Chain A
Amino acid sequence: NAGVTQTPKFRVLKTGQSMTLLCAQDMNHEYMYWYRQDPGMGLRLIHYSVGEGTTAKGEVPDGYNVSRLKKQNFLLGLESAAPSQTSVYFCASSYHVLLPNYEQYFGPGTRLTVT
């Protein structure tokens, strides 16, 4: 049981390049989330999904797109990277929020630098 995994762990991009971050979970969770973590800002939600084929915007969605074609995977895309997107990105997954065992399980993170 690997939990939540993220690929890649590190990446350096030049301004204007594109990339996709992959998140996978093997816990059969319905919900999946993408956060970014910046110094002094805590975690901010970028996009989330409440089921296969669904996505929704979080607090800071601009410049990012997501897709959830399979229940176990949640992809985060940067179409044209900007230095302001330099951050550590975390994926998380969970059961339904009303269930007593609700908690969000986090992946190990992807450190992205945009130069």
Chain B
Amino acid sequence: GDSVTQMEGPVTLSEEACLTINCTYTATGYPSLFWYVQYPGEGLQLLLKATKADDKGSNKGFEATYRKETTSFHLEKGSVQVSDSAVYFCALIPSGGSNYKLTFGKGTLLTVNP
């Protein structure tokens, strides 16, 4: 079945450091890929997405590129801020439209210290 594997956290960085959170997936065809963010005490919200190979999603200084050849969708940011402290989830939905279920990774907790 479909699955998403994220790097295990927690990840602790200093402000202005570079961030990479690895995400790889297993799925048939060309799934759509997502990064969701969960700030403390809140629900998840979409951070960025990509729907086909080589697409780059970007938002709030975060980027991720859909790499079909390596089945990866790594999240990157060049300079993190304290306000980026949150849990980040990688997710996919299969292609074709017959499966409505988002498959999530287990989440990566990021803490950014001033």
Contact = CB atoms under 8 A, between A and B. Distances in A.
Interface in A49-106: 50, 58-59, 90, 92, 96-98, 100, 102-106
Interface of B (DSSP majority class) = loop
A42 B43 contact: no
A103 B34 contact: yes
A58 B32 CA distance: 19
Interface of A (DSSP majority class) = loop
Chain B, interface size category, equals: 20 to 34
A31 B100 CA distance: 9
Given A43-B89, A102-B32, A108 B104 contact: no
Given A42-B89, A42-B105, A103-B49, A48 B100 contact: yes
Contact of A90 (B34, B44, B97): B44
B97 A96 contact: yes
Nearest to A100: B51
B102 interface: yes
A42 B107 contact: yes
Interface of B: 32, 34, 36, 41-46, 49, 51, 89, 93, 97, 99-102, 104-107
19 contacts: A4-B43, A31-B100, A33-B102, A43-B89, A43-B102, A45-B102, A48-B100, A92-B43, A97-B93, A97-B99, A97-B100, A102-B93, A103-B49, A104-B44, A104-B46, A105-B46, A106-B44, A108-B41, A108-B42
